[in-house]
Amino acid sequence: MFAQRLQNLQPYKPGEQPKDREYIKLNANENPYLPSPKIKEAVKDIPLQKLALYPDPDSHELKKAIAKALNKTGGVLVPAKDQQPLGFEITEDMIFCGNGSDEVLSFVFYSFFDSDKPLVSPEFSYSFYPVYAGYYGINLKKVPLNADFTLDTKAMLAIDSTGMIFANPNAPTGRALLPAEIEAMLEAYPKDKVFVVDEAYTDFSGYTVLPLLKKYENLLVIRTFSKSMSFAGMRLGYAIGAPALINALTTTKNSFNHFPTDAFCQTAAIAACSDIEWYVENCRKVINTRDIFCKALSDSGWNVIPSKTNFLLVSKDGMPGKDVYESIKKQGILVRYFDIDVIRDFVRITIGTDEQMQKLLDVMKKL
Ligand SMILES: Cc1ncc(COP(=O)(O)O)c(C=O)c1O
């Protein structure tokens, strides 16, 4: 009854959503703060007629709103002092929108990577990359991380590849390369191969590689509204790159589903982009809480990997990650552990509100 190819699929497992009781949910890197109240106003006023018609297949107004927001902030909500200014204007034809960055990534895998050479990625990065590689029959070459969990960029560049993909900051480690280090990689990388930087968590890091788009037409940056924009439930992700890359993604999209972003999503996201100060404020709060929690946890004897994201990867000597996860879950708090070598001893904790993190700290101090 089922197609052969189904037997080989190894699907992605998202963070659990148990219903047996109320949990403080710190397992999926969602944002603890609400999205802008302007969204409610905008959505309330959607004429019902709009729902009877197909939405704009190419999200034109939304792309303009995203471009405007990026140009306003310089590409990152809370920029570090030494983040380069954009140096050019991001235009609508440089943006592609999809149903969450997961879908955008799926189109990226389909559009740019062949199977004659391997696609290069770090051994630990977003766990959907191997899933898409399997789905599309792409040979994924996973390069082990350095001992401190940074990327081994030299080893990644040494491979003759069909393309390159990694998250920066990386997940689930939280470690980040600086834009200058990524530029050095781009310099050494063939200009006719697509080089993908997934910036899902970049707003929490202070840095972005967007200014490099001016110089490198093979660079494609992936972004999501799910993290710093508190929009995971609506599903919106986008890619930013040279118009030729965006056109390729649009061709792939139109061969699969013309309308990945619906009328509600487009309206809500345009409203979100008009209130970027709201998100800057929330992003600052998350960064501040992360840094305080990180120090408090280290002071209590936990090993904490330095993080540039809205999550921390932590371990305690002699305690397997699964035991830590289960003990914390018993106290009504969800974190995530990975049943994978090398990071089996760790749990990943999403940064919540100050109050939520204080509760978690009290629990973890007793473990
Ligand atoms: C590195 C990275 N990229 C992409 C995504 C997907 O985000 P979404 O599909 O919600 O836009 C995630 C989600 O956790 C992620 O961690």
Report the alpha-carbon distance of residue 128 to residue 102 in Å, rounded: 8
* pLDDT at site 86: 98
Res 13 pLDDT > 90: no
pLDDT of 27 over the 90 cut:
yes
Q: CATH 3.40.640.10 spans which residues of the chain?
A: 38-276
Mean pLDDT computed over every residue of the chain? 96
Neighbours of 183 (CB within 10 A): 18
Q: Maximum distance among all alpha carbons in the chain?
A: 60
- For residue 140, the surrounding DSSP H or E stretch is strand 140-143
Interval 328-332 mean pLDDT: 96
**pLDDT-above-90 percentage for the chain:** 93
Say if domain 38-276 classifies as CATH 3.40.640.10: yes
| 40 has pLDDT over 90 | yes
**Helix 276-299 to helix 60-73 angle, to the nearest 10 degrees?**
60
Cα–Cα distance for residue pair 131/151, rounded to 1 Å = 20
Q: Which of 101, 166, 168, 197 is the pocket-test mutation for ligand 1 (most atoms within 8 Å of CB)?
A: 101
Q: So what's the pLDDT on residue 170?
A: 97
Contact 294, 303 (CB under 8 A): no
Question: Do 231 and 206 contact (CB within 8 A), yes or no?
Answer: no
Total residues found in the chain within this entry: 367
The per-residue pLDDT for 312 is 97
Q: Where in the chain is the domain with CATH 3.90.1150.10?
A: 11-34+277-365
pLDDT at 4: 87
C-alpha 30 to ligand 1 mean position (Å): 10
pLDDT band at residue 10 using 50, 70 and 90 as cut-offs: confident
Please report, to the nearest 10 degrees, the dihedral formed by the alpha carbons of residues 186, 190, 193, 195 taken in order. -10
User: For ligand 1, is residue 15 a contact (CB within 6 Å)?
Assistant: no
Answer left, alpha or beta for residue 235, where phi above 0 means left and psi between -120 and 50 means alpha.
left
231 lines ligand 1 (CB under 6 A): no
The pLDDT value given to residue 189: 98
* Whether the predicted pLDDT of 1 surpasses 90: no
Query: Which uninterrupted H or E stretch holds 98?
Result: strand 95-98
Higher pLDDT, 45 or 163: 163
Is the beta carbon of 234 within 6 A of some atom in ligand 1? no
Give 282-347 as a 3 state SS string. Answer: HHHHHHHHHHHHHHHHHHCCCEECCCCCCEEEEEECCECHHHHHHHHHHCCEECEECCCCCCCCEE
pLDDT in tens, 134-173: 999 999 999 999 999 999 999 999 999 999 999 999 999 9
Average pLDDT over residues 182-203: 98
- Domain spanning 11-34+277-365: which superfamily? Aspartate Aminotransferase, domain 1 (3.90.1150.10)
174: alpha, beta or left? (left if phi > 0; alpha if psi -120 to 50)? left
CB count, 10 Å around CB of 3?
Answer: 7
- How far apart, in Å, do the first and last CA atoms of the chain sit? 49
State mean pLDDT over 111-124: 95
CB 314 within 8 A of CB 297: yes
Distance from residue 239's CA to the centre of ligand 1 (Å): 12
Phi and psi angles of residue 102, each rounded to the nearest 5 degrees, phi first: -60, -45
Cα 196 to ligand 1 centre (Å): 14
Q: Assign 231 to helix, strand or coil.
A: coil
Question: Does the beta carbon of 29 lie inside 6 Å of ligand 1?
Answer: yes
How many angstroms separate the CA atoms of 295 and 289, rounded? 10
The answer, yes or no, to whether any atom of ligand 1 lies below 6 A from the CB of 127, is no
Atom of ligand 1 nearest to the CA of 237: 11
Answer yes or no: is pLDDT of 313 > 90: yes
pLDDT in tens, 210-267: 999 999 999 999 999 999 999 999 999 999 999 999 999 999 999 999 999 999 999 9
Span 82-102, average pLDDT: 98
Is the pLDDT at 83 greater than 90? The verdict is: yes
**Token pair for 307:** 């993080």
Rounded distance between C-alpha atoms, residue 25 and residue 17, angstroms: 8
Residue 58 near residue 250 (C-beta atoms within 8 A): yes
Give the pLDDT confidence score for residue 15 in this predicted structure.
Answer: 86
Lookup: tokens for 274: 């008009």
10 Å Cβ neighbour count for 317? 8
Query: Which pLDDT value is given to residue 298?
Result: 97
In our burial notation (b when 16+ CB lie closer than 10 A, e otherwise), range 202-228 reads: bbbbbbbbbbbbeebebbbbbbbbbbb
3-state secondary structure of 149: coil
Report the separation in Å between the CA atom of 49 and the middle of ligand 1, taken as the mean of its atom positions.
32
Indicate the pLDDT class of residue 306, thresholds 50, 70 and 90: very high
Question: For position 100, what pLDDT does the model report?
Answer: 98
